[in-house]
């Protein structure tokens, strides 16, 4: 069964940092693009970042220069290093496999940026 499990969310102060992880299982992780998508409470979905199989990276304008996506194929893991966090970054962060569309999605991890 294909499964994605996020971790690393929590409460952080504005300006702080947090590192999210996504553990993948049930498929050949190195063969797929991977993505992070977030959703603020009561709001819509927002694509955050993606990484290709060759390590090429893509970011939304809202996080460029502050967030870094990476992957470790040997550990079937995806990461999102988030620096200079702002209140507007508060959201549930989902990791998703990039196949034909984002499929599947993890259950999400909540990041709260507040003093």
Minimum CB distance to another protein, residue 113 (Å): 21
Minimum CB distance to another protein, residue 62 (Å): 10
Distance, in Å, from the CA atom of 59 to the CA atom of 37, rounded to the nearest integer, reads 11
Segment lying near another protein (by CB under 8 A), choices 11-19, 58-66, 73-81, 82-90: 58-66
Minimum CB distance to another protein, residue 6 (Å): 10
Q: How crowded is the C-beta side of 45, counted as CA atoms within 13 Å?
A: 11
Distance, in Å, from the CA atom of 43 to the CA atom of 103, rounded to the nearest integer, reads 21
Give buried/exposed letters for 81-99 (b at 16+ CB in 10 A, else e): ebeebeeebbbbbbbbbee
Residue whose CB is less far from another protein, 13 or 107: 107
Q: Which of 102, 109, 111, 113 binds another protein (CB under 8 A)?
A: 102
- DSSP code for 65: T
Q: Which of 29, 32, 59, 67 binds another protein (CB under 8 A)?
A: 59
Residues that bind another protein (CB under 8 A): 35, 37, 44-47, 50, 58-61, 94, 100-108
């Amino acid at each position: 069964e294909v499964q994605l499990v996020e971790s690393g969310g929590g409460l952080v102060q504005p300006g702080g940092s947090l590192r999210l992880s996504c553990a993948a299982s049930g498929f050949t992780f190195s063969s797929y693009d991977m993505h992070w998508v977030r959703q603020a409470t009561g709001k819509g979905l927002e694509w955050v970042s993606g990484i290709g199989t060759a390590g090429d990276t893509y970011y939304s304008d809202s996080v460029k220069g502050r967030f870094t996506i990476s992957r470790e194929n040997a550990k079937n893991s995806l990461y999102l290093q988030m620096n200079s966090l702002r209140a507007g970054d508060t959201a549930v962060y989902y990791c998703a496999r990039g196949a034909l569309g984002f499929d599947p999605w993890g259950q999400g991890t909540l990041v709260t940026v507040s003093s």
